[in-house]
Amino acid sequence: MHRARTIFKTLTGPQGQKLGAWLLARKNGPSVLCVAPLREYTTPAASEPFLNGSSTSYVEDMYNAWLADPSSVHASWDSYFRNSQGGGGYQAPPSLGLPGRNEVAISSLLPSLSGGVSLGAPVSDKVIDDHLAVQAIIRSYQIRGHHIAKLDPLEINSADLDDKTPPELLYSHYNFVRDGPSRTYSQELVKQVRHLAQQETDMDRTFKLPSTTFIGGKDKALPLREILRRLELTYCRHIGVEFMFINSLEQCNWIRQRLETPGIMNPTNEQKRLILARLTRAAGFESFLARKWSSEKRFGLEGCEILIPAMKQVIDRSTEFGVESIVMGMPHRGRLNVLANVCRKPLSQIFTQFAGLEAADDGSGDVKYHLGTYIERLNRVTNKNIRLAVVANPSHLEAADPIVQGKTRAEQFYRGDGEGKKVMSILLHGDAAFAGQGIVYETMHLSDLPDYTTHGTVHIVVNNQIGFTTDPRHSRSSPYCTDVARVVNAPIFHVNSDDPESVMHVCNIAAEWRATFHKDVVIDLVCYRRNGHNEIDEPMFTQPLMYRKIKKTKPALEKYSEQLIAEGAVTPEEVKDVKDKYEKICEEALEKAREETHIKYKDWLDSPWSGFFEGKDPLKASPTGVIEDTLVHIGKRFSSPPPNAAEFVIHKGVERILKARMEMVENRMTDWALGEAMAFGSLLKEGIHVRLSGQDVERGTFSHRHHVLHHQNVDKATYRPLCNLYPDQAPYTVCNSSLSEFGVLGFELGFSMTNPNALVIWEAQFGDFNNTAQCIIDQFISSGQAKWVRQSGLVMLLPHALEGMGPEHSSARLERFLQMSSDDPDYFPPESDEFAVRQLHDINWIVANCTTPANLFHILRRQIALPFRKPLIIMTPKSLLRHPEARSSFDDMKEGTEFKRVIVDAGESAANPDGVKKLLFCSGKVYYDLKKARDERGLSKDISIARVEQISPFPYDLVKAECAKYPNAKIFWAQEEHKNQGAWTYVQPRFYTALTGSRDVNQPQKGGWFSSLFGSKPEPKPEPKSETEPEPREIGYIGRPTAASPATGSKAQHLKEVASLLDDATHL
């Protein structure tokens, strides 16, 4: 028993003293005992007695047991309770709330200290120590048992990278070494238990079990030997669970119960046969592909075939709990197997991907192990219909995580599934990527935010203990690859993947956990990778020992078949039969696949919008102007304080803003914030959900928006004017996000994929920060439709302008978005009524920089008015938000008005175009600077200024017409950005095309940019120009010179640069 006691002391007691003796020695000390906890808990965990160092529940347990049967407790307790009853009765110890955290009245702990109460037999401190030590042992198994669980099927590594355990976990650290130093606490624990087992007398003593364990089942007390055996079985076999850090006693007990209850993991024969059948299919699929296409990359699942039965188990259980739709995200590893055996995507469609066929539909496509899918089918186990979507993803590991969450959230939102009971997400991870990619952390941090939660995600890690060629020791600094999940208090179940029944058990718990607590949970499938990183990779170059072991390791299917045959659950013939049947299914599917002549990208779409495109003219957009009554109504509502204004105290500054807004509405004018609100409000009126998300969007970074008004005296009392426009309006969501770009932009993109009839907007705090989400922009937004035939109408609002704020608050890097635009700089599309819509249809996204609230209003509304969806990137203003000239009249937003791709000069220059000497094109806020300089210098007759509001697709037709209007003017592009930045490099060749109409390189055939990708022949070079033909007009550049940094950090330098820009622009 001594050994057990030392464990307890290591965990809780004052160093080097027995707790009981120490308590007794302090008889005359203060009446409150403070015990230093292992770790500071400021959470409900503090209410768990053992955790905070108190033993109140132990004494309570003793008392209750004594009440039921006085002989069940030790004689000393019997004597104590008997005497206490006579002398006023035993009183339950005071709750922890009274003495304060980690403190407990001494009188509640020990009979000998309860002043004045006469005692019977003296309490033996050994007895108390022994009981407390048993508690400590139980607890140490619950906390640390996973360190010594047998998790690695290869038995060569420790899943927690054991030899990196920090020194405080070394037992020798505590000066209790008896049998030579142990390397780790885990090893010491093993030694302790072995040592205990040799002390036969203690091992046969019966101990009462505390309320924090369920190992007893119906038994309230067990011999120490049995206690240890059951703890070993639960915590140190093939499941290693980390959960004791969770700050909820209820949740800890919930898990303990599901792990510890005797016999809880005894599957029926029927369940075993189901596991075997699923495992057979998983293994059969890979071996079929390996035989048919031996040199094709498929990132097979060999070594972790259990993933398939595991996922199916999570899905089965979740559907039993009421889930109807599951959105999944996963990397390359085992993806085809998941599509085939979890989603049940027709095998023939999968096999055609290996045949190298051409596509029958639009798009540039993607490799087979990135494609998404969407399937609706009957779950045969639960007999319920289920929808399964695997979201398409790029190579970029984990980048699809936030997309999956956004898509899931959107599905929940539109179904009214406020608690996530009907829709859930499953995310699969590789061990190296889960530990290494920051986006995992960003995504995890969305998991409990009110407007971002998906009410619990089941994470499954295919932990094959390697990342390409890198060992875990070199790919992470945390003990487990799953440690990131601890930040959100997710329980983590590590499980040896070669024990299928243990895997199914944790899958059941995970699904039930999600259904009960609606919080994240992690299943860490500790497995191995039988082949190299892909099928043509040689693993022996870098992991020779591991792979020697792998070669000697029997596949899980073989092991499990043998186990079930030995148990008599199946016969060898049945095993063979299941295998042969699946083989036949694969052969038949392959026959079918061979008949196909084309692949269809549409077969791999993850988010179909049923009915959206049907019956629509693909080139006809609805009008975006609205009747004046609507503008007035929205304007007034948006400018009014909450209806119960007498009680709802708003800030004086907000009051002033509302008043100014109201005056504007009365004058039929809008500023930027009003223009935006009117776009949102009018869409809400039409039943379109609007969601605006990003950092500080509710107020607006520049304090211009104020979509959420805060009661100045009541916490959390808010009023959202745009949610209160019309009784039957669509919902409006405006939500401040976590401080993440990659995660939140990805989330909003995912959200936008679910419902085409919603305007989903992400706003960057400053445009600069969009580059931390570069992967979402490059891999999904700009190229998503081409790769995965998936459309999105997501809007990105990126504050952008050089206003002397330094390098980092100036540029949203307009040039990058333009460089990724897919329109051909040399191609002037045919001029027709459909010109503008066709251009939008053919391009990958729209890039704009608007200068008026009316144009913002129209372009936002146009997102919904289009018969298709395209991402919209808008450079948004900062100083223009309050610029007196950056206002629009209702006249520019009324019925019959529309978005202006180019705003031409309607001033003096237009009255006499022939006299105009200079035609300046520009985009964005610089327009107001140019105009001011021109007018101040009296040049409004000489210089005409046109604003290109939609930069991409380029308004060739309007630019051409504007140039033609001023035949004698020299043409310039003026920009405030540096020459290698901003729009210049994009517009320069396009101006040339607009002016010459030339189409000399790679001119696409009829189908727009899609056809330019597939098979169009280069156009013949144009004939050399004749000598009489006039030289084309040229476009000159006015702006800052090239630079590495987007803007100077010096205010003086900034002003100098502005002056020089304006001088150049107004120089005739």
Ligand X SMILES: Cc1ncc(C[n+]2csc(CCOP(=O)(O)OP(=O)(O)O)c2C)c(N)n1
Residue from 245, 280, 832 nearest 491 by CA: 245
How many Å apart are CA 231 and CA 233, to the nearest integer? 5
CB of 1059 to Mg ion, least distance (A): 58
- Per the structure block, which two tokens stand in for 512? 């039930």
> Which range touches ligand X (CB under 6 A), out of 350-358, 463-471, 540-548, 577-585?
463-471
Residue 624, helix vs strand vs coil = coil
Question: Judged by CB, which is closer to ligand X: 367, or 627?
Answer: 367
Q: How far is the CB of 390 from ligand X (least distance, A)?
A: 16
Residue 149: name its binding partner from ligand X, Mg ion, none (Cβ under 5 to 8 Å by kind): none
- Report the run of H or E that residue 432 belongs to, with start and end: helix 431-436
Q: From 38-46, 117-125, 450-458, 461-469, give the range in contact with Mg ion by CB under 5 A.
A: 461-469
Site mask for ligand X (CB under 6 A), range 333-362, x = bound: x-----------------------------
Chain centre distance of CA 695: 16
Least distance from Mg ion to the Cβ atom of residue 432, Å: 5
Task: Give the nearest distance from C-beta 481 to Mg ion in angstroms.
Answer: 8
Residues 27-56 that bind Mg ion (CB under 5 A): none
C-alpha span between 493 and 503 (Å, rounded): 9
User: How far is 525 from 153, CA to CA, in rounded Å?
Assistant: 10
Q: Tell the smallest beta-carbon distance from residue 468 to ligand X (Å).
A: 4
Pairing label, strands 689-694, 758-763: parallel
Contact 740, 442 (CB under 8 A): yes
Binding site partner of 818, from Mg ion, ligand X, none, Cβ cut-off 5-8 A by kind = none
Q: Please identify, using beta-carbon distances, which residue of 472 and 750 lies nearer to Mg ion.
A: 472
Is residue 468 involved in binding ligand X (CB under 6 A)?
A: yes
To the nearest whole angstrom, how small is the minimum distance from the Cβ of residue 882 to ligand X?
41
Contact track, ligand X, 883-922, x by CB under 6 A: ----------------------------------------
Place of tokens 């190298």: 356
Name the residue type at position 380: R
Binding mask 395-434 for ligand X (x = CB under 6 A): xxx--------------------------------xxxx-
| 431 lies in the binding site for Mg ion (CB under 5 A) | yes
In single-letter form, the type of residue at position 72 comes to S
Of 8-16, 180-188, 458-466, 1019-1027, which part binds Mg ion (CB under 5 A)? Answer: 458-466
Residue 529 Cβ vs Mg ion, minimum distance, rounded to whole Å: 7
Please give the residues from 992 up to 1011 whose contact with ligand X meets the rule CB under 6 A.
none
Residue closer to ligand X (CB basis): 93 or 472: 472
Nearer to ligand X, 300 or 700 (CB): 300
Question: Which C-beta is closer to ligand X: that of 151 or that of 209?
Answer: 151
| Region of residue 983 (phi > 0: left; psi between -120 and 50: alpha; otherwise: beta) | alpha
Q: Which listed option, Mg ion, ligand X, none, makes contact with residue 433 (CB within 5 to 8 Å by class)?
A: ligand X
Contact with ligand X (CB under 6 A): which of 239, 282, 342, 466? 466
d(CA 1068, CA 125): 101
**Closest CB to ligand X among 160 and 316?**
160
- Hey, which residues between 586 and 645 contact ligand X (CB under 6 A)? none
By the 10 Å C-beta count (0-12 exposed, 13-18 middle, 19+ buried), 653 is classed as exposed
Is residue 301 close enough to count as binding ligand X by CB under 6 A? no
State the residue number with the nearest CB to ligand X: 430
User: Which CB sits closer to ligand X, 210 or 430?
Assistant: 430
* Helices and strands of the chain, counted as H and E runs: 37, 30
Which of 105, 276, 283, 462 forms a contact with ligand X (CB under 6 A)?
Answer: 462
Give whichever of 300 and 955 is closer to ligand X, judged by the CB atom. 300
Backbone angles phi, psi at 234, to 5 degrees: -75, -50
- Rounded to a whole number of angstroms, the minimum distance from the CB of residue 467 to ligand X is 3
Smallest CA-to-CA distance from 332 within 399, 424, 394 is with 394
Total number of residues binding ligand X (CB under 6 A)? 15
By CB under 6 A, tell whether 297 contacts ligand X: no
Tokens 């002043």 — which residue?
A: 115
Q: Cβ closer to ligand X: 298 or 947?
A: 298
**Chain centroid, CA 302 distance in Å:** 28
Question: Which of the 8 DSSP states describes residue 900?
Answer: -
Applying the rule CB under 6 A, the residues between 542 and 581 that interact with ligand X are: none
Q: Does 464 bind Mg ion (CB under 5 A)?
A: yes
CB of 398 to ligand X, least distance (A): 7
Q: Are 165 and 189 in contact (CB under 8 A)?
A: no
Least Cβ distance, residue 482 to Mg ion (angstroms): 12
Chain positions 38 to 57 lying near ligand X, rule: CB under 6 A, are: none
- Residue among 48 and 431 whose Cβ is closer to Mg ion: 431
Out of ligand X, Mg ion, none, which partner does residue 93 contact, by CB within 5 to 8 A per kind?
none
Question: What's the closest the beta carbon of residue 459 comes to ligand X, in angstroms?
Answer: 13
- Nearer to ligand X (CB atom), residue 330 or residue 626: 330
467 scored as a contact of ligand X (CB under 6 A)? yes
User: What distance in Å separates the CA atoms of residue 388 and residue 385, rounded to the nearest whole number?
Assistant: 10
355 in Cβ contact with 596 (< 8 Å): yes
- DSSP annotation of 721 reads G
- CB distance 749 to 785 below 8 Å: no
Residue 239 interacts with, from Mg ion, ligand X, none (CB under 5-8 Å by kind): none
Task: Name every residue whose Cβ is closer than 8 Å to that of residue 801 and which is 6 or more positions away in sequence.
Answer: 810, 875, 877, 878, 879, 880, 924, 925, 926, 976
DSSP 88-108: T---PPPPTTTT-TTEEEHHH
- Complex with Mg ion: residue 49 or 472, whichever CB lies closer: 472
User: By rule CB under 5 A, what count of residues binds Mg ion?
Assistant: 6
CA gap 824, 811 in Å, rounded: 25
With binding defined as CB under 6 A, does residue 536 bind ligand X? no
CA atoms within 13 A on the CB side of 368: 23
Q: Which does 396 bind (CB under 5 to 8 A by kind): Mg ion, ligand X, none?
A: ligand X
Q: Which is nearer to Mg ion, 466 or 974 (CB)?
A: 466
What is the C-alpha to C-alpha distance for residues 60 and 40, in angstroms, rounded to an integer?
25
CB under 8 Å to 508, separation ≥6 — which residues? 313, 317
Q: Is the peptide bond before 953 cis (omega within 30 degrees of 0)?
A: yes
Q: Which of 906, 939, 817 is nearest to 870 (CA)?
A: 817
Q: Which is nearer to Mg ion, 20 or 331 (CB)?
A: 331
CB of residue 770 to Mg ion, shortest distance in Å: 31
566: Cβ contacts below 8 Å, ≥ 6 apart:
none
957 contact partners, CB below 8 Å, separation of at least 6:
831, 835
CB 431 to ligand X: min, Å? 4
1054: partner contacted, choices ligand X, Mg ion, none (Cβ within 5-8 A by kind): none
The DSSP element (H or E) to which 318 belongs, if any, is: helix 307-320
Q: Within its chain, how far is the Cα of 860 from the centroid?
A: 26
Nearer to ligand X, 466 or 951 (CB): 466
> How far, in Å, CA of 621 to CA of 617, rounded?
8
Q: Which does 468 bind (CB under 5 to 8 A by kind): Mg ion, ligand X, none?
A: ligand X
Largest CA distance in the chain: 124
Q: Smallest distance, Å, CB 776 to ligand X?
A: 12
List contacts with Mg ion (CB under 5 A): 430-432, 464, 466-467
Footprint on this chain of ligand X (rule: CB under 6 A): 333, 395-397, 430-433, 462, 464, 466-468, 529, 533
